[in-house]
Chains A and B, each alone.
Chain A
Amino acid sequence: MDETREGRDAPVRADEPPPFGGSWGRLYALVITTLALLVAAFAFVTRHFA
């Protein structure tokens, strides 16, 4: 698979949708939710094994 693509002269689009995931809002929510789940998991690990 070609890993590069010609982008040098392509116009810059800040509102360009993500290649997957539907919208940027959803992707940001995914990152925050994952962080929250990791913190919860760490809290569980800390408490459970203490």
Chain B
Amino acid sequence: MSGLDWLVLVGSQALVVLYGVWKGRRATTLEGYMLSDRSMKWHIVLFSIMATQASAITFISTPGQAYVDGMRFVQFYLGLPVGMIVLSVTAVPIYHRLKVYTAYEYLEGRFDLKTRALAASLFLLQRGLSAGLTIFAPSLILSIILGWDLYITNVVMATLVILYVATGGSKALEKTNRLQLGVAMFGMITAVVVILMKLPPSLSLYDATVVAGKLGKMNAIDFSFDWNNRYNFWSGLIGGLFLQLSYFGTDQSQVGRYLTGSSVAESRIGLLFNGLLKIPMQFFILYVGIMVFVFFQFVAPPLFFNHVEVDKIAASPRAAEWKALEARHEAAHAARREKVEELVAASGNADTARAERAAAALREADEAFRGVRSDAVALMKENDPKAATTDTNYVFLTFVMRYLPSGLIGLVISAVFCAAMSSVASELNALSSTTVIDVYKRSIRPNESDGHYVRTSKVATVFWGLFALGFAMVAHRFAPSLIELVNIVGSLFYGTILGVFLVAFYLKHVRGTAVFAAAIVAEAAVVWCALGTKIAFLWYNVVGCVVVIVAALVIQAAMPRNAARLEN
């Protein structure tokens, strides 16, 4: 990175952190520290929700996902708008009416302490580890692409977040989230403008999309039903709906964001606008990846995007074979580029038969090109069975580092930092709130002053920040499948927790013991799905939720009437 890049990166990050510390300096009450005095307008709620959900991986990996797998990942979000409506009707008025600080607080009033403790514990466990991964994942990628030290990158990122979240709590992160989302989106828009400028002048945006489409990348919708297909219309709409309901309805890192709304209406509008904007935003980020893909039809991409793995094999006894593959790769790229140009020329006239022939020839050339890459991956695996042979996460930043001008590189890296920090900040705030409200204030020191709880919340924020940092430091031992794993681990718990909340909202006759037992049965069913079947992970959310509801009804019906009455 050049001096200008460093100036942009350090300057923008310093601005964000100082702004957060400044805005949050007056948080002296517990409600002010945890929920910004429940005083936010809908657009602040909206930006905060969006910034919390969009982590660094959203901006780094999603374009790479499109580069490799096309647009189909957009279907993951199809259930989100429906989920936003369901939560606006159900959860938002209930949480506001009860003036709860955390979602789990509600469960004690509705069921009992053990159900509240179970849900809060599952959240603390899952989100604590997840916060570590939110720090680790971008640090790993930045350390590989930029040659930075992984541990120092982890420490810098975690320290900056702890600094302003511990100081200013919810208000600091609400204000910085907006700024961070703005920087992240500005970075992506700038990147796509540069990509378009770097494509051949004769190639229109439409032509670029035609090229991507003919190579199978514009696969935004697949209506076929398949339990084992990770992303299609049905898994996105149904499985995704359950996942989003659970994430936004029961995960404190999101519940805490919209509870800052000054009224039911402000929180609802924030959620509904998220339902309107999220899918177009994801489509845009995926489309950035598609444009990178088209760019690399004209400029030879590296044989493999993770240069640490390339350096390893280049220094191994198999170096000569790798060199030969690189030569084949270059030739295959040149052949494919010729076919791309033929397709573009054919698309420009009315001869559809010629265009179809050109598309078929291009697909053949692309297959040969991908064959060389498969051979390269196989060679890397033979050379080192532990080699990281997935390079999706490195595609976009490799492009950024090689082809973006000085200054803009710093902007995009700053966007990555902003996205990571906004997610971690919300996670730390939620972990701190749950620790203090659901554990400390409920069971350890119930009658202390507001000032005492604010100080305890600050300590809890620092504790969870250090916990996340500690996990980020050792997380590389589990890589490279870790990022995918975190989504799967989330789906292991989300359905069950959602089921507990749905029973609480809608099945008024079901009591605490029945739902607690049902949650354990559901969790066992989800673990069985994960270990004993090939069902795609989005469906775990449906299984967990449905099993809780059905089992709770059955257990409640089977319970002796006296026992049920005693619970009432």
Contact = CB atoms under 8 A, between A and B. Distances in A.
B276 A12 contact: no
A35 to B, nearest CB: 4
A14 B214 CA distance: 50
Contacts of B43: 3
A26 B78 CA distance: 20
A22 interface: no
Classify chain A's interface size: 20 to 34
B218 A45 contact: yes
Given A4-B40, A12-B99, A14-B97, A49 B209 contact: yes
Interface stretch (B133-141, B195-203, B265-273, B421-429): B265-273
A35 B280 CA distance: 10
Contact of A28 (B42, B88, B279): B88
Given A31-B81, A31-B275, A49-B212, A7 B220 contact: no
Nearest to A42: B220
Contacts of A14: 93, 96-97, 264
B219 interface: yes
A8 B38 CA distance: 6
Interface string B70-83: 01001000100110
Interface in A19-34: 19, 24, 27-28, 30-32, 34
A39 to B, nearest CB: 7
Q: Report, as a range, how many residues of chain B touch the other chain.
A: 35 or more
Given A46-B220, A50-B213, A50-B218, A18 B37 contact: no
Among B31, B221, B222, find the residue whose CB has the most chain A CB atoms closer than 10 A.
B221
A19 B88 CA distance: 15
Contact of B279 (A27, A30, A38): A38
Interface in B413-460: none
Interface string B494-528: 00000000000000000000000000000000000
Contacts of A27: 269, 272
A31 B31 contact: no
B264 A8 contact: no
A28 B93 contact: no
Nearest to B273: A31
Contacts of B214: 49-50
Given A32-B81, A35-B82, A49 B263 contact: no
B354 interface: no
B467 to A, nearest CB: 31
B268 A3 contact: no
Contacts of A6: 37, 39, 262
Interface string B552-567: 0000000000000000
Contacts of A19: 42, 265-266, 269
Contacts of A48: 213
Contacts of B266: 7, 19
Contacts of B36: 4
Contacts of B42: 19
Nearest to A40: B221
Given A5-B39, A35-B279, A38-B280, A16 B85 contact: no
Given A5-B41, A6-B39, A42-B221, A49 B210 contact: yes
Contacts of A12: 93, 96-97, 99, 263-264
Interface in B210-234: 210, 212-214, 216, 218-223, 233
Interface string B5-25: 000000000000000000000
A10 B262 contact: yes
A27 B283 CA distance: 22
B48 to A, nearest CB: 12
Contacts of B222: 46
A46 B272 contact: no
B213 A49 contact: yes
A7 B221 contact: no
A1 B36 CA distance: 18
B548 interface: no
B78 A39 contact: yes
Interface in B16-56: 31, 36-44
A27 B270 CA distance: 12
A17 B269 CA distance: 11
Given A5-B39, A8-B37, 17 more contacts: A3-B41, A3-B44, A7-B266, A14-B96, A16-B265, A19-B269, A24-B268, A28-B88, A32-B82, A34-B276, A43-B223, A45-B213, A46-B220, A49-B212, A49-B214, A49-B218, A50-B216
25 contacts: A3-B41, A4-B262, A6-B39, A7-B39, A7-B261, A8-B37, A10-B262, A12-B96, A12-B99, A16-B264, A17-B265, A24-B268, A31-B84, A31-B85, A31-B272, A31-B276, A32-B82, A35-B81, A35-B279, A39-B233, A42-B283, A45-B218, A46-B218, A50-B218, A50-B219
Interface of B: 31, 36-44, 71, 74, 78, 81-82, 84-85, 88-89, 93, 96-97, 99, 209-210, 212-214, 216, 218-223, 233, 261-266, 268-269, 272, 275-276, 279-280, 283
